Amino acid sequence: MDRAEIDSSIKSLIEPFNKKGVAITDATTFAGDLEFDSLTVMDFVAAIEDEFDIIISMNQQAEIENYGQLVDAVTKLQGE
One-letter identity of residue 10: I
pLDDT value of position 79 = 87
pLDDT reading at 33 higher than 90: yes
Cβ-count burial 11-30 (b if 16+ within 10 Å, e if not): eeebeeebeeeeebeeebeb
Report pLDDT digits (tens) over 49-79.
Answer: 999 999 999 999 999 999 999 999 999 999 8
State pTM to two decimals: 0.93
Pick 3-79's CATH classification: 3.10.20.30, 1.10.1200.10, 1.10.10.10, 3.40.50.300. Answer: 1.10.1200.10
pLDDT reading at 80 higher than 90: no
